[in-house]
């Protein structure tokens, strides 16, 4: 009898499309956790993109310019995504994270433009009386090389809603094949240690078990950076994450 090596078996499973089990995040009590607070900043020039709607102008509006990154007077980045990678156990998920998040399309804009969602279902909605073809791409290398399709959905009817299961964590770039200027970003996470920066670029992640981690800060225009950190028991750790283009 011919025996397969472990490598051959794993390769066969991948070829057949069988899932290899991955340990899920474990909720536990965190009595001595630390807090990671800080700010995401961008010190470069803020460029703008020119949007010229070529169809459905009565719904989509006219020509306009929009900044590629939202930066406040003190260089804080609004709607920056911040999260910890590969956390195996820690604080419970919030009740809010158990709800099915929504990616809406209204007046030819994604709403919200940026969001962080728990791995699982998301509802994609068309609130416009025109066709939207919502296309999501999984990105590599901290928001770059966004090529692998994770969903590609035609929504021709106003009020239409389609749910999609986001099975793996990662950064997803979203556009519309019918309206090429539409752009959105989603971060799919597999643990509850994440935050979206406020208008001043500030964030806070609480109840972090003591240990070594990798903190990721990301924004669609700049891409992301990784910062190795060490969290001590009941520590208030302050981080400044500078994004660069």
pLDDT recorded at residue 141: 85
pLDDT recorded at residue 143: 80
H/E stretch holding 59 reads: helix 57-60
Task: Match 């509850």 to its residue by tokens.
Answer: 192
pLDDT recorded at residue 144: 84
Nearest in space to 173 (alpha carbons), one of 140, 202, 197: 140
Q: What is the mean pLDDT of the chain?
A: 93
pLDDT recorded at residue 21: 46
pLDDT recorded at residue 18: 44
pLDDT recorded at residue 6: 55
Residue partners of 158: CB distance under 8 A and separation at least 6: 126, 127, 128, 129, 130
Q: Convert the pLDDT of each residue in 50-93 to its tens digit.
A: 999 999 999 999 999 999 999 999 999 999 999 999 999 999 99
Task: Work out the pLDDT band at 22, boundaries 50, 70, 90.
Answer: low
The two three-digit tokens of residue 30, written as one number: 């965190």
pLDDT recorded at residue 178: 97
pLDDT recorded at residue 3: 46
Task: Work out the pLDDT band at 34, boundaries 50, 70, 90.
Answer: very high
Q: Convert the pLDDT of each residue in 108-148 to its tens digit.
A: 999 999 999 999 999 999 999 999 999 999 999 888 899 99
Task: Work out the pLDDT band at 7, boundaries 50, 70, 90.
Answer: low
- 168 has a pLDDT exceeding 50: yes
The two three-digit tokens of residue 228, written as one number: 């190795």
CATH class of 25-243: mainly beta
Pairing mode, if any, of strands 120-126 and 102-106? parallel
Domain limits, the chain: 25-243
pLDDT recorded at residue 102: 98
Q: Distances in Å between the alpha carbon of 172 and those of 70, 159, 183, 194, 209?
A: 19, 23, 11, 16, 28
């Amino acid at each position: 009898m011919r025996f397969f090596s472990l490598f051959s078996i794993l390769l066969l499973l991948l070829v057949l499309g069988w899932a290899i089990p991955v340990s899920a995040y474990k909720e536990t009590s965190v009595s001595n956790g630390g807090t990671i607070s800080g700010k995401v900043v961008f010190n470069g020039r803020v460029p703008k993109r020119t949007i010229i709607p070529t169809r459905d102008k009565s719904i989509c509006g006219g020509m306009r310019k929009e900044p590629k990154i939202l930066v406040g007077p003190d260089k804080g980045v609004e709607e920056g995504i911040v999260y910890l990678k590969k956390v195996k156990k820690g604080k419970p998920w919030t009740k809010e994270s158990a709800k099915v998040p929504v990616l809406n399309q209204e007046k030819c804009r994604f709403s919200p433009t940026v969001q962080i969602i728990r791995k699982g279902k998301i509802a994609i909605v068309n609130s416009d009386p025109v066709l939207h073809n919502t296309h999501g791409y999984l990105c590599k290398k901290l928001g770059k090389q966004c090529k692998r399709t994770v969903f590609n959905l035609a929504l021709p009817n106003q009020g239409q809603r389609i749910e999609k299961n986001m099975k793996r964590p990662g950064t997803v770039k979203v556009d519309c094949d019918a309206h090429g200027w539409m752009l959105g970003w989603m971060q799919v996470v597999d643990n509850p240690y994440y935050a979206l920066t406020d208008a001043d670029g500030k964030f806070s992640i609480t109840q972090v078990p003591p240990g070594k981690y990798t903190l990721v800060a990301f924004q669609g225009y700049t891409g992301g950076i990784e910062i190795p950190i060490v969290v001590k028991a009941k520590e208030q750790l302050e981080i400044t994450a500078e994004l660069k283009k």
